[in-house]
């Protein structure tokens, strides 16, 4: 892409005193635990969100591999696998992290250690709700340093085939995510749009409860490949020809909302809060992550150095 289109607002706390209205970094007030099993692996997993120091960022710790198996949330550590976001560093991997990352980003948690005893995050009900509720129950604590925010200053667009994601400045400094889902050949899913100005409050109510989904034909393929053996149509939204199977939608556009949640989780790979107007059409994790990478590349070294 041509030229520098992104500006990093890197409020280094050692150099600048907080100003009124400035958003401060946040962490958890106490540890929060979520149990479940991985959708793909079927393995039980325990996730513990722990408070972390100012400027620590988000780091996964694979406790089953030892205390040195630490995987910081960085765009360059993403493993290119379909349908999910995995991270790997020196042989230690964490899988399907996007809903965990969305919960942390949506609640404006800047610093956290996520201790897990398996690679794959719990699928729970397919949404980020279990993570959000656990973190909110533990409490959220403001820290003594301004949050780092990456603000879009000029429009940028990334596309692949007939999928795209673009970002433009938001004069208010907010993050708005608009997702346009288009299953034009599927009569049930069809086309739907979700648009949200993401704040901790709106995220908790409008995006966090929205579950991942797949077509019945896709579910059959995964099971035939030996994956998702513990997952039932109560754990995830499965769409058949007559609509959602053995489940009820929480919102008419729950699927588009979930894809907006995925965008938020993938943008967390920047290691920053993001402000801007994001519009995505049929984009998935790969394209979302490409936007995060592009964002960091064009921002310069300021953010990457701190990861």
User: Which contacts (CB < 8 Å, 24+ apart) does range 296-303 have?
Assistant: 296/75, 296/270, 298/1, 298/3, 298/4, 298/5, 298/6, 298/156, 299/4, 299/6, 299/7, 299/8, 299/150, 300/4, 300/8, 302/8, 302/10, 303/8, 303/10, 303/148, 303/150, 303/270, 303/271, 303/272
Complex with Zn ion: residue 6 or 179, whichever CB lies closer: 179
Q: How many residues are listed for the chain in this entry?
A: 307
Complex with Zn ion: residue 41 or 298, whichever CB lies closer: 41
Return d(Cα 129, Cα 106) in angstroms, integer.
11
- Based on the shown chain and the rule CB under 5 A, indicate whether residue 113 belongs to the binding site for Zn ion: no
Residue 296 to residues 3, 96, 115, 304, Cα–Cα distance (Å): 13, 22, 26, 7
Complex with Zn ion: residue 212 or 275, whichever CB lies closer: 212
Residue 89 to residues 74, 94, 240, 286, Cα–Cα distance (Å): 10, 9, 38, 18
Least separation in angstroms between CB 20 and Zn ion: 37
Least separation in angstroms between CB 259 and Zn ion: 7
**Interface mask (CB under 5 A) for Zn ion, residues 211-250, using x and -?**
-x--------------------------------------
Complex with Zn ion: residue 11 or 179, whichever CB lies closer: 179
Least separation in angstroms between CB 262 and Zn ion: 4
Pairing of strands 213-215, 190-197: unpaired
Complex with Zn ion: residue 108 or 258, whichever CB lies closer: 258
Exposure string of 130-166, with b = 16+ CB inside 10 Å and e = fewer, is bbbbbbbebeeeebebbbbbbbbbeebebeeeeebbb
Complex with Zn ion: residue 94 or 303, whichever CB lies closer: 94
Least separation in angstroms between CB 51 and Zn ion: 26
- List the interface residues with Zn ion, window 154-213 (CB under 5 A): 212
Least separation in angstroms between CB 133 and Zn ion: 17
Q: Which of 108, 115, 258, 285 is catalytic?
A: 285
Establish whether 285 is a catalytic residue. Answer: yes
- List the interface residues with Zn ion, window 259-298 (CB under 5 A): 262
Least separation in angstroms between CB 157 and Zn ion: 22
Which window, 145-153, 217-225, 227-235, 257-265, contacts Zn ion (CB under 5 A)?
257-265
Which window, 153-161, 186-194, 220-228, 254-262, contacts Zn ion (CB under 5 A)?
254-262
CB 157 within 8 A of CB 287: no
CB 51 within 8 A of CB 104: no
Q: Which residue has the tokens 């360059």?
A: 76
Total of residues contacting Zn ion (CB under 5 A): 2
The residues annotated as belonging to the active site are 285
Q: Which residues bind Zn ion (CB under 5 A)?
A: 212, 262
């Amino acid at each position: 892409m041509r030229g520098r289109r992104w500006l990093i607002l890197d409020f280094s706390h050692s150099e600048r005193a907080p100003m009124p209205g400035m958003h401060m970094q946040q962490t958890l007030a106490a540890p929060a635990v979520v149990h479940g099993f991985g959708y793909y692996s079927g393995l039980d997993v325990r996730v513990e969100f722990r408070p972390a120091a100012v400027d620590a960022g988000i780091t996964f710790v694979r406790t089953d591999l030892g205390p040195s198996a630490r995987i910081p949330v960085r765009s360059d550590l993403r493993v290119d696998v379909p349908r999910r976001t995995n991270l790997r560093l020196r042989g230690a991997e964490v899988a399907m992290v996007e809903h965990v990352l969305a919960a942390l980003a949506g609640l404006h948690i800047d610093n956290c250690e996520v201790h897990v005893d398996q690679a794959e995050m719990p699928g729970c009900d397919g949404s980020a709700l279990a993570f959000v509720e656990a973190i909110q129950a533990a409490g959220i604590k403001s820290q003594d340093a301004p949050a780092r925010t990456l603000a879009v200053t000029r429009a940028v667009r990334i596309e692949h085939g007939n999928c795209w994601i673009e970002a433009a400045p938001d004069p208010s400094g907010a993050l708005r995510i608009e997702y346009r889902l288009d299953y034009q050949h599927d009569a049930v899913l069809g086309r739907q749009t979700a648009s949200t100005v993401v704040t901790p409050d709106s995220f908790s109510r409008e995006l966090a409860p929205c579950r991942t989904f797949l077509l019945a034909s896709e579910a059959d393929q995964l099971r035939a490949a030996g994956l998702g053996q513990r997952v039932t149509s109560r754990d995830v939204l499965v769409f058949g020809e007559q609509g959602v199977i053995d489940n009820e939608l929480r919102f008419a556009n729950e699927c588009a909302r979930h894809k907006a949640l995925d965008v938020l989780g993938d943008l967390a790979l920047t290691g920053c809060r993001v402000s801007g107007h994001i519009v995505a059409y049929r984009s998935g994790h790969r394209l979302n992550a490409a936007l995060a990478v592009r964002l960091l590349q064009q921002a310069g070294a300021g953010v990457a150095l701190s990861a």
